[in-house]
Structure 1
Amino acid sequence: MRILFVAAEVAPLAKAGGMGDVVGALPKVLHQLGHDVRIFMPYYGFLADKLESPPELIWKGFTMSQDFTVYKTTLPESEIPLYLFEHSAFAPRRIYHGEDEYWRFTLFSNGAAEFAWNYWKPEVIHCHDWHTGMIPVWMKQSEDIATVFTIHNLAYQGPWRSYLEKITWCPDYMRGDNVMAAAVQFASRVTTVSPTYAQQIKTPEYGEKLDGLFNHIKDNLVGILNGIDLDLYNPANDKLLYKTFTKETLIKRIANKIGLQEEAGLEINKNAFLLGMVTRLVEQKGIDLVMQIIDRFMSYTDAQLVILGTGERYYESQLWQIATRFPGRMSVQLLYNDALSRRIYAGSDAFLMPSRFEPCGISQLLAMRYGCIPIVRCTGGLTDTVSFYNPASETGTGYSFDRYDPLDLLTCLIRAWEGFRFKKDWQKLQQRCMSQNFSWYKSAAEYVKIYKSVTGQPAELSKTEQQKLIFFEQAIA
């Protein structure tokens, strides 16, 4: 089957959130299952620094009164063809932000549609978030091209139709007040990145004013849990760590904790309870909860905290000020650093993720992969991936709380801090986390069924696909 992924982010080349991880990993697995998968993304100004060799110019197009070119290369560490949409709007060394954001991604979507119509024709275009939301609308006129639209973050819904009508073609049949609403109505299938979130967005609390629409298309809405690239994120051979380890050699993990403490400017103390956070500093991630209780928690315990991320200036400045009150115990790193993020996963004892809402979440999966115990709020994909830890029955993989309330978070943190004192039980919990299988193979199989369904084929895996799936699953077991 011919499948074209169109997205604003593709890891490891351009990543700002979980979308990049998905688009960088899922096509590799689909390729292993025998499908012709290709990726279409913007040619950002910083990509030249990350590509091993100059890409090849393959096609020139014209849309929205603009000339554009498409270059071809391959996704790093794979055989996946990668098409780069080149235009001056994407020359700046950034992925998002800027006054022209709506215009530039609308142009990008137009370019992807023209590419699919005139250069390489897929059977399915897999679109990701509002940046590609107009593609399902336009493809409605092409009966031989189906579309799958995946929602990674419903909070960002793109430009209003009144703006779109000024810059691009809005067909007469188009419905929806903005790009997200239009995409949801015209995609052959709509997916979210976890089953729980697919149910939550049908409620006013999580639906971002589109809950009525999601209830209307509920039979066309599917939640498929994200996975992670187990080869890319592997503590047994990750060269970015201070020392590699496995669940059988957890004693070696201590070197990563000490190394992280030294790198982050914390007191060197292997017995301290070290909390880590790798996050965007925005309201969605529960930063307001953390700021309300962190003084009390740090004063009550001997814990340490390291936070890595960037975001809203208010949160950045407030966290920085709080850190000055706990020298040697709290470190705030206001930057994006993939290497440091891995060392936080590998060196922290627990990972804090108290999200207000979370479509899926990748960080908690990476934390467990590296033996870092997740502390999460029960919402979205966090509910689907982190089970409640019961030390009496030795079940569960992390600490969790329900209400979005600072006292509930503080109580959960205290429980984890106390649990850390019981080293043998904590080590069993770490090993249980590291034994979880968050590979992409199971999820990829569900996507294959969707691709087949929207193209009129029986929605089931072929015998060859089943055999390959079993083989690859056994290889990583």
Structure 2
Amino acid sequence: MSTKKLKIVSIAAEVAPFSKTGGLADVAKSLPKALKRLGHEVMVITPLYGQIIDTKTHNLKLIYENVKVYLNSVDKVQINFWQGYLMRGLPIYFIENKKYFSAKKELYGSRRENVRFLVFNIAALKLISLLKYEADIVHCHDWHTGLIPYFLKTDFKYSETLHKTKTIFTIHNLAFQLGHDWWAVPAEKKDYGKNKIPHITDSDIENINFAKRAILSADIINTVSEQYREEIMTTNFGQDLQQILRNREDKLFGIVNGIDYATYNPQNDPGLFKNYDCNKINNKKLNKDHLQKLLKLKVDQELPVIALTSRVTFQKGFELILQILEPLLHLDIELVFMGDGDKEYINEIKKFAKRYPKKMAWLSFKENQKMETLLYAGADIFLLPSHHEPCGINQLIAMRYGCIPVVRRVGGLMDTVANYNPRTNRGNGFSFSSFNPYSLYATIIRALENYRYQTNWHKLIFRVMRESNSWEIPAKKYVALYRQAMKRHK
């Protein structure tokens, strides 16, 4: 096996701790770090969201100013490039254009989203050329970076710096393919990935399908779990791209995400009331007491606390949750929700929280982000009954803190959560298959029944806390994929 040190560029629309709306930011931070620890040369590129990222707080240095970047023969923009560090020896570069990345406080939601990320894609390639960084691999994360593989096969094909570079495109969630809902694009306006990119003043640019072009152009495509890799080649999960994915099946792989064990560590997490590890599980109870007091719930160790931390969307199973909330709240349990998203769902959750103030609490993720790990430490059960789930990171974090997952058997949840069997003492959580409220309710009841047997429950906590879900193994799998991409001819 080759031991050559690789030169890798990782490109993503969000990178924690600088910018974050979801799990993509965690992956875009943690994977480059894991690759660096394996001895590879890595750099990261992301937009500079002016109203979110403070250049002084993060000690960013302006390295190129007012660089003219041509988007095509007519359109051009001026870009500033900044440099910071994710860790020692791992630079992160920021692309600044106030018009496209500093106009609002949110990362996304512009009516010209495709134009914004077209600018980002070309500016990222321009930066690599300016740095004369002869990358072996450009790793593109999700639709926001989808035109990079396309441009490396077209406009940048003969680039002095990039002509030997191979690309890998990671699908984090196939539902997101461009800056707007892919299904809202009229049939006659659909992008088939062959035509030239329109000028930025042409409204048709907002119909360009970044993800489709990446799938057609990348040397390697991967998803964030092995099960999701299988699912997206089917009509039910393929989001209208199943055929082109089946056509490129030999280039399509699945690698389950990891989590950063330095960031998520109950042994030294400053966000906890009392730190603990798998050998001091009783200290977890002190976090439960603290959480119950903090949220004005009934303080009672015997009451199982169920936590849910995710975006509040149909995808995450809220349609099912709302259908069983009433009977669920008649049980001897407590519920804690943390998340932002669909206003209708959130309003319904708030109504229940108002009716059952001693049994249920809802917290906005945006306003209470620092409390997230306290929820895992204080809760007994973690709930994620997703309709579809490419990987899911929260169930991995929950298990790291000894919070037992109840999930739907789909995508990455199927790859990471095995049904617990008390007779054999195997499994690490509770799962169900059919997307309906009865199956979800029955699985929660099964988890609650097992919770009553505290000796066995403690053994289950001990086992899930000892599982290895760090980035070390996934990072090695990515390196193997990179080497495979490098063997392929353009």
Same fold by TM-score greater than 0.5 = yes
The answer as to whether partners of 2:168 and 2:219 remain within 8 angstroms in 1 is yes
Match of 1:150 in 2: 170
Task: Quote the Cα distance in structure 2 between the aligned partners of 1:53 and 1:111.
Answer: 22
Match of 1:44 among 40, 49, 66: 49
**Equivalent residues in 2 for 1:126-205, closer than 5 Å:** 126-140=139-153, 141-142=157-158, 143-158=163-178, 161=191, 164-167=197-200, 178-205=209-236
The answer to whether structure 1 residue 79 and structure 2 residue 86 are counterparts is: no
1:98 matches 2:110: yes
Structure 2: 5+ residue stretches without partners: 1-5, 180-189
Change in 2 beyond 3 A, CA 1:6/1:179: same
1-structure distance, mates of 2:210, 2:333? 45
- Compute the displacement of 1:105 (Å): 1.4
TM-score, normalised to structure 2, is: 0.88
Cα deviation for residue 264 of structure 1 reads 2.0
Amino acid at match of 1:153: N
Q: CA separation in 1, counterparts of 2:231 and 2:119?
A: 32
Q: Is the 8 A contact 1:283 1:356 kept in 2?
A: yes
Question: Shift in Å at residue 270 of structure 1?
Answer: 1.6
**Counterpart residue identity of residue 93, structure 2:** Y
User: Match for residue 471 of structure 1?
Assistant: none
Deviations 1:419-461 (A, max 9, x none): 111111111110111011001111111111111122239xxxx
Identity %: 36
Correspondence for 1:464? none
Note the C-alpha offset of 1:290. Answer: 0.2
User: Shift of the alpha carbon at 1:275?
Assistant: 0.3
SS in 1 for 2:9: strand
From 19, 25, 29, the equivalent of 2:24 is: 19
Query: Which structure 2 residues correspond to residues 3-402 of structure 1 after superposition, within 5 A?
Result: 3-45=8-50, 46-48=52-54, 51-58=57-64, 60-64=67-71, 65-75=76-86, 77-88=87-98, 89-91=100-102, 92-121=104-133, 122-140=135-153, 141-142=157-158, 143-158=163-178, 161=191, 164-167=197-200, 178-299=209-330, 301-336=331-366, 337-402=368-433
Contact persistence 1:56–1:73 (CA under 8 A): no
Partner SS, residue 394 of structure 1: coil
Deviation at 1:247, TM superposition (A): 0.6
Aligned partners of 2:421 and 2:427 also within 8 Å = yes
- Give the partner amino acid of 1:86: E
SS in 2 for 1:305: strand
Q: Secondary structure at 1:284's aligned position in 2?
A: coil
* Higher alpha-carbon deviation: 2-11 or 43-52: 43-52
Q: How far off its partner does 1:158 sit?
A: 0.3
Q: Retained in 2: the 8 A contact 1:61–1:69? A: no
AA in 1 matched with 2:359: R
Residue 29 of structure 1: how far off its partner (Å): 1.2
Question: 1:328: how far off?
Answer: 0.9
The structural deviation recorded for 1:104 is 1.1
Q: SS at the partner of 2:477? A: helix
Q: Cα distance, 1:164 vs. partner?
A: 4.5
Q: Distance in 1 between matches of 2:54 and 2:208?
A: 37
Distance in 2 separating the partners of 1:33 and 1:341: 29
Whole-angstrom CA distance in 2 between matches of 1:263 and 1:149: 43
Conserved 8 A contact 2:169-2:218: yes
Structure 1 residue matching 2:199: 3-state secondary structure: helix
Comparing 114-123 with 232-241, greater Cα deviation is found at 114-123
The residue identity in structure 1 corresponding to 2:234 is T
Tell me the CA shift for residue 54 of structure 1: 3.8
* Cα-Cα RMSD: 1.9
Residue pairs, 1:382-461, within 5 angstroms: 382-456=413-487
- Stretches of structure 1 lacking an aligned partner (at least 5 in a row): 170-175, 458-477
Q: What is the deviation of 1:50?
A: 8.0
What is the alpha-carbon distance in structure 2 between the residues aligned to residue 25 and residue 168 of structure 1? 37
178-187 or 101-110: which moved more? 101-110
- C-alpha separation in 2, matches of 1:63 and 1:262: 57
Verify the 8 A CA contact 2:306 2:334 in the aligned structure 1.
yes
Which residue in the other structure is 1:475 paired with?
A: none
| Contact preservation (8 Å) 2:391, 2:411 | yes
- Using the size of structure 1 for normalisation, the TM-score is 0.91
Letter aligned with residue 114 of structure 1? K
Deviation digits for residues 9-52 of structure 1 (CA, Å, limit 9, x no counterpart):
11122111111111100111111111110000011121107834
